Amino acid sequence: MVTIKDVAARANVSATTVSIIINGKEKERKISPATVAKVKTAIAQLNYQPNIAARKLRTFDNNYPNIAIYLAYDHRSSMFNQFIESIYHEQMKGAYEFSITVCPFKSGHLFEENALTSTTSFSAAIITTISPADAEFLKQNPPPFPVVLMNRSLDGFSSVCADTQDSILELAEMIQKKGYKRISAILMQDGYMANKIRYQSFLNACETRGISFSDDYIAFSDDSMEGGFQAAKKLMKAGSLPPVLYCDTDSIALGATYVFNRAGIRIPEDLEIVCICLSNKLYTQYSTPSITIIDISLEKNMVDCLKLVLDLFFNKITEPVNKVYKASVIYRESFPELL
């Protein structure tokens, strides 16, 4: 079956350009007549036809919106499950009727998602885990329907973000209060903007309190328990570990904890662990030992995104709204609070 990408390759233009022309927006986007002619010729030569699903989406009911959820594809199946569960509970409340289409995409490649430039694809969209390149694409190509960004603010777009600054400062102060001077970290190999901002804030907060990070004790991993498992083994080979380990995500922390338990490293007596919680906080609550987290409450974030995008679709809100809520520290066995 011929796709938009095939047409783009034949015409030697981007898939986004083809999508814009197919949807009749070439004048609005100031695409040259020569480019339009090339694309239309390629469409005719390849006998391109929109697929059945796309034709079906064009007929959506304005009182029954179809909401796209764009989620960067990685190992975070637990995050995906959180989203679906949150949406299901919100649907059960019956405030609005709507359908959901989950659209996995590769981080940094949002420009390949042709539906984002189409007027006949979705009623609205929630976009998560975007990279700087994705953000730039959205700025240059704002979708023709309401969009809410999750954990990323961008001029001209509505968003729902967790403010972790106070929680990060609280953890840094607690580390200082315990008298620790060194800390190690396991970070996502290809972390998203929010992860990088959180880690940089934590790094700055620690350094201003005389707590140092050494490159020898910073490891990188996938956002998965397997990734945490492998990264923890690398850290152990570096020698005597600093007394505190910071993990970018709870999946990483769970994998690392398994390694330390098997190696006879006592938590928290020999090593204390803290992490950012990006999945169900029950996973870290019932691990051995239970793990201290900064809880950014994905359930609340997703529900707020959904409510906001529906209000935008039904014109209850007509201007971009940026909603911010506070994250919180939940102290557990891996890093107990010092009273």
Q: Mind listing the pLDDT tens digit for each residue in 22-31?
A: 777 788 778 8
Look at residue 55 and tell me whether its pLDDT is greater than 80. no
Q: What confidence tier does 177 reach under pLDDT thresholds 50, 70, 90?
A: very high
pLDDT 10s digits, 93-133 = 766 778 888 888 888 899 999 999 888 889 999 998 888 89
Please tell me the distance from the alpha carbon of residue 160 to that of residue 164, in angstroms, as a whole number.
Answer: 13
Average pLDDT for residues 275-300, to the nearest whole number? 92
pLDDT in tens, 57-69: 444 556 788 899 9
Query: Under CATH, which number does the domain 1-49 receive?
Result: 1.10.260.40
Band (pLDDT 50/70/90 cuts) for residue 147 is very high
pTM of the model: 0.75
Q: In this model, does residue 276 exceed pLDDT 60?
A: yes
Taking the domains of the chain in order of start, what are their residue ranges? 1-49, 163-297
* CA–CA distance, 57 with 292 (Å, rounded to integer): 44
Q: What is the pLDDT of residue 56?
A: 46
Backbone angles phi, psi at 329, to 5 degrees: -90, 130
Which segment of 7-16, 162-171, 188-197, 210-219 scores lowest on mean pLDDT? 188-197
Alpha carbons 201 and 194: distance in angstroms, whole number:
11
Coil, strand, or helix at residue 277? strand
pLDDT score, position 51: 56
Q: What percent of the chain has pLDDT over 90?
A: 54
Give kind and range of the element (H or E) at residue 235: helix 225-237
Alpha helices in 127-271 (DSSP H): 132-140, 165-177, 193-207, 225-237, 250-262
**Do 188 and 195 form a contact (C-beta atoms < 8 A)?**
yes
Contact 285, 334 (CB under 8 A): no
Cα-to-chain-centroid distance, residue 120: 25
Q: How many residues does the chain have?
A: 339
Of 134, 6, 25, 118, the C-alpha closest to 70 is 134
A 10 A CB-CB count for 106 gives 13
- In percent, the amount of the chain with pLDDT more than 70 equals 92
Can you tell me the mean pLDDT for 192-216?
A: 89
Q: Which CATH architecture has domain 163-297?
A: 3-Layer(aba) Sandwich (3.40)
Single-letter code of the amino acid located at 273: I
**pLDDT value of position 49:** 67
Q: Which residue has the higher pLDDT, 234 or 42?
A: 234
Residue 77: per-residue pLDDT: 52
Average pLDDT, the chain: 88
pLDDT digits (tens, 9 = 90+) for 220-249: 998 889 999 999 999 999 888 999 999 999
Whether 195 and 152 have beta carbons less than 8 Å apart is answered as no
CA distance 75 to 290: 22
What is the β-pairing status of strands 66-72 and 124-127? parallel
